[in-house]
């Protein structure tokens, strides 16, 4: 079986081109792959189309760094403090570049990915009926149930080019095991053409075989494995790391202005070579 382990730099360079449709931050507030997003920023990816539910502050950072053309999500901000200032500047002022937002609810983005994972063009739901989300963009269409005539909302399938999940452990072949709340990770990895697994721990296949019910995705469907301990900070990771609320508050204060965001970006993303350097800058007390 092939060894799929790459560094984060290699994984981004090989598998995430400009303009890619990228699903990440899929477990809502937990297991957010900040290390992946920061590498996207360092490699100056442009025109990305981001897909996610509530991906905490990671979408705000990518928008502020000028990497994003389109966001298809249910919520964009900073869950600890509320507002995503980079997101607001992009939508309200077109800075650093204009942004198209295709508004979803958490359930409609889940269904859009599930439709793609199951190979159908749409899935029907009753959610969002009677709301303006249902008319926000061409990913929704009002239809009638073919059996009862009941009004339903058809949610168009959405197929990411790349899905990125940070999991507790994986082997070198990509067999990936996750625990805790998963959010929309299962449908996103099922829908994506390419899956990058970021693993807190690299384990042997025997460890995977001992608990197969924890496997989020078998390695046959995984393109690359990145071993990146601490890759979710400041987001929590069940069994490994708490939520670092102070880091989110610091980010909110800094990103309230463009200058502040640039200074934050320089200190925490552009000014460090990789995640190991980020964690060293953070210091021992804040990593876990």
Partner 1 sequence: MVACAAREIGDGDVVFVGMRLPLLAFALAVSTHAPRAVGVFENGVMRDTPPRGPVVTMSDPPNLDGALWAGALSRAMALLAGGHVDLGFIGGAQIDRHANLNTTRIGPADAPRVRLPGSGGGCDIACAARRLLVVMPHEPRRFVERGRPPDQPRLRRRPRLARAGRAARLRVGHADHHQGGAARHRGHRRLRAGVGPPRRAGRRRGRRHPWGWPAGEPRAAPVTKAPDREVLEALRALDPERVWTGDG
Residues found near partner 1 in the complex (CB under 8 A): 27-30, 53-54, 56, 73-77, 79-80, 82-84, 87-88, 91-92, 101, 103-108, 110, 114, 125-133, 150, 179-187, 235-236, 238-239, 242-243, 245, 248
Q: Which is nearer to partner 1, 35 or 224 (CB)?
A: 35
Sign of CA pseudo-dihedral 270, 271, 274, 275: negative
**Shortest distance (Å) from residue 251 CB to partner 1:** 13
Range 183-192 burial, b when 16+ CB lie within 10 A, else e: bbbbbbbbbb
**Shortest distance (Å) from residue 26 CB to partner 1:** 9
Sign of CA pseudo-dihedral 52, 53, 58, 59: positive
**Shortest distance (Å) from residue 49 CB to partner 1:** 17
Give the span between the Cα atoms of 4 and 77, in whole angstroms.
Answer: 33
CB atoms within 10 A of CB 146: 9
Q: Which is nearer to partner 1, 108 or 255 (CB)?
A: 108
**Shortest distance (Å) from residue 77 CB to partner 1:** 4
Sign of CA pseudo-dihedral 94, 95, 100, 105: negative
Closest CA to 45 of 93, 9, 2: 9
Q: Which is nearer to partner 1, 179 or 282 (CB)?
A: 179
Q: Which is nearer to partner 1, 127 or 215 (CB)?
A: 127
């Amino acid at each position: 079986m092939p060894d799929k382990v790459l560094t984060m730099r290699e994984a981004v360079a090989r598998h995430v081109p400009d303009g890619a449709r990228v699903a990440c931050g899929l477990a809502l507030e937990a297991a957010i792959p900040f290390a992946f997003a920061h590498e996207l920023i360092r490699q100056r990816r442009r025109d990305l189309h981001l897909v996610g539910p509530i991906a905490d502050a990671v979408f705000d950072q990518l928008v502020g760094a000028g990497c994003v053309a389109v966001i298809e999500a249910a919520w964009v901000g900073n869950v600890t403090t509320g507002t995503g200032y980079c997101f607001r500047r992009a939508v309200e002022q077109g800075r650093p570049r204009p942004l198209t937002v295709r508004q979803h609810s958490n359930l409609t983005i889940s269904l859009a990915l599930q439709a793609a994972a199951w190979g159908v063009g749409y899935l029907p739901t009753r959610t969002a009926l009677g709301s303006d989300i249902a008319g926000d963009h061409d990913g929704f269409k009002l239809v009638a149930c073919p059996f009862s005539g009941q009004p339903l909302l058809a949610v168009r399938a959405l197929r990411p080019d790349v899905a990125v999940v940070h999991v507790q452990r994986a082997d070198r072949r990509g067999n990936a095991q996750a625990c805790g709340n998963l959010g929309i990770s299962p449908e996103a990895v099922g829908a994506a053409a390419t899956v990058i697994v970021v693993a807190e721990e690299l384990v042997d296949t025997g460890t995977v075989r001992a608990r197969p019910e924890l496997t989020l995705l078998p390695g046959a469907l995984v393109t690359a494995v990145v071993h990146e301990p601490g890759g979710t900070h400041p987001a929590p990771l069940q069994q490994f790391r708490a939520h670092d609320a102070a880091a989110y508050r610091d980010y909110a204060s800094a990103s309230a202005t463009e200058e502040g965001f640039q200074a934050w970006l320089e200190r925490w993303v552009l000014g460090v070579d990789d995640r190991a350097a980020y964690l060293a800058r953070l210091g021992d007390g804040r990593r876990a």
